[in-house]
Amino acid sequence: MPHALLVSGSLGQGHDVMARACADTLEAGGWTTRTVDAMALLGQRAGAAGEAVFRRLLDLPGVYDAFHFSALRPGARIALLADAAARSRLVPALRALVAEQRPELVVSVFATATSAVNRLRADRDAPGFRHLVLCTDVTPHRLWVQDGTDRFLVTSEVAAAAVRRYRPDAPVTVLPAPLRGPFYRPPSRAEARAAFGVPPGARCVLLMSGAWGLGPLARTAPALADAGPHVLAVAGRNAELEDRLRHAAGRRPRLHVFGHTDRIPALMAAADLVVTSSGDTCSEARALGRRLLLLDVVQGHGRDNLQHELELGHADVTSARPADVVRCALAALERPAPAPSPGASPEGWRTGFTAALEQVGLAAGRA
């Protein structure tokens, strides 16, 4: 059977979701797959240091904005040097993996992997494989777009134009954002509410902000519950945030707290409004026909993604101050919800992904 290697990255959960979507589609067509974490391939110390630096940049207001817009987007020397340093560590690890697995396809869903995979392909004795890059950001930065990639997969025409900024002749496929399987088969609102103890006629808000729980969710969740709605608050992998939310929920029956959970499709199905940061969660909420209130807490690419979500409609934006979130959420609950987006069907993604495989010379019948 044909084999694919998927290269993800552990900075947040979005990259893993995209890798899983690719793997599901490939495996349904008879492929075998393996997903690896580029941060882990850097080595324990380098990977941990890279994540720590990224988190620190996000914690300092404006610093990651400056790095993203002044270095990553134009491909400034400091960004290229950082990419080269990561590439020097990744290439040997990827070389060993490719030699062992002999994939026909490598899919990069993490920017750090892109140049390393293409550098590996340039080796004289490298085995032949095709290389796809999947990016769901509305404006992929310079490190995503490297010579040697066979095709770029993006989720908007804006993103396609961003890719062509760096490679005017780049082969690009625009396709719907893939979703995790359960989002294509969500429970009904009534079923979901019964599961979480939310009354059928109550107003209900899902509050989350990525796997890291970015922003002041600990103060926002109780303030929102005190204002009347039931609040489904998801802390992700942020253990400190989960502890604070559970402490607040002890005195608030309308505040329901979750840590890292695979029940997000059901939580969204139960909610009238999804309050979240910009990212792939937005595509999931739209697929279920839920209105969005966006927290302006993700710097850099998050600013671009937020503006794009507002342009798509049925979304509002708020600052991260708890009082502002409460005020905007109560107003958003009075506005009509959208119909489920075209992405609610898996066929759009599968058709686009299959077409991309055909365009790089991999038979559609094999994927």
Domain extent, residue 141, equals 3-174
Same domain, 229 and 330: yes
* Average predicted confidence (pLDDT) for the chain: 90
Q: Which of 117, 142, 174 marks a domain boundary?
A: 174
| CATH number for 98 | 3.40.50.11930
Contacts with 348 (C-beta within 8 Å, 6 or more apart), sequence order: 175, 176, 342
User: What integer is the mean pLDDT of 184-196?
Assistant: 95
pLDDT for 49: 65
Distance CA 272, CA 289 (A): 9
Separation of alpha carbons 332 and 329, rounded Å:
5
pLDDT at 367: 39
Of residues 354 and 42, more confidently modeled:
354
The closest of 25, 16, 12, 19 to 364, measured between CA atoms, is: 25
pLDDT tens digits along 34-79? 999 998 888 766 656 666 666 677 777 788 899 999 999 999 999 9
Instruction: Say whether both 212 and 163 belong to one domain.
Output: no
Domain assignment present for residue 258? The answer is: yes
In a domain, 294, yes or no: yes
Percentage of residues in the chain having pLDDT higher than 70: 94
- 278-312: pLDDT as tens digits: 988 999 999 999 999 999 988 899 999 999 999 99
What region, left, alpha or beta, does residue 306 occupy, with left being phi > 0 and alpha being psi -120 to 50 degrees?
A: alpha
Paired with 185 in beta bridges are: none
The SS3 call for residue 248 is helix
Counted domains in the chain? 2
Q: Is residue 209 within 8 Å of residue 235, measured between CB atoms?
A: no
Same domain, 76 and 220: no
366 belongs to a structural domain: no
The whole-angstrom separation of Cα 315 and Cα 335 is 10
| 3-17, 178-192, 332-346, range with the lowest pLDDT | 3-17
Q: Please write the tens of the pLDDT for every residue from 162-175.
A: 999 999 999 999 99
Domain-located, residue 162: yes
Are 79 and 208 found together in one domain? no
Q: Is 200 a domain residue?
A: yes
Q: DSSP string covering 16-82, please?
A: HHHHHHHHHHHHHTT-EEEEEEHHHHT-HHHHHHHHHHHHHHHHSTTHHHHHIIIIITTT-HHHHHH
| Confidence at 366, pLDDT banded by 50, 70, 90 | very low
pLDDT digits (tens, 9 = 90+) for 263-273: 999 999 999 99
The residues that bridge with 273 in the sheet, in sequence order, are 205, 291
Model pLDDT, residue 17: 85
- Residue 276 placed within a domain: yes
For residues 47 and 195, membership in a common domain is answered with no
CATH classification at residue 203? 3.40.50.2000
168 and 232 fall within a common domain: no
66 & 204 share domain: no
Both 85 and 109 in one domain: the answer is yes
* Residue finishing a domain among 145, 174, 203: 174
137 and 253 co-located in one domain? no
Query: Under a CB-based contact definition with an 8 Å cutoff, are residues 291 and 272 in contact?
Result: yes
Domain final position from 174, 203, 237: 174
Examine the domain organization and report whether 167 and 192 are in the same domain: no
* pTM for this entry: 0.90
Contact indicator for 232, 206 with CB cutoff of 8 Å: yes
Task: Clarify whether residues 119 and 189 are in a common domain.
Answer: no
Q: 109-155: per-residue pLDDT in tens?
A: 999 899 999 999 888 777 789 999 999 999 999 999 999 999 999 99
In a domain, 199, yes or no: yes
Q: To the nearest 10°, the Cα dihedral for 214, 215, 217, 220? A: -160
pLDDT the model gives residue 94: 93
pLDDT above 60 for 365? no
- Asked if the structure places residue 353 within a domain, the reply is no
Q: Identify the burial level of 169 via C-beta atoms within 10 angstroms of its C-beta, where 0-12 means exposed, 13-18 middle and 19 or more buried.
A: exposed
- Indicate whether 201 and 238 sit together in one domain: yes
Sheet holding 291-295, edge to edge: 255-258, 230-234, 204-207, 273-277, 291-295, 315-318
- The residue assigned the tokens 């990553």 is 72
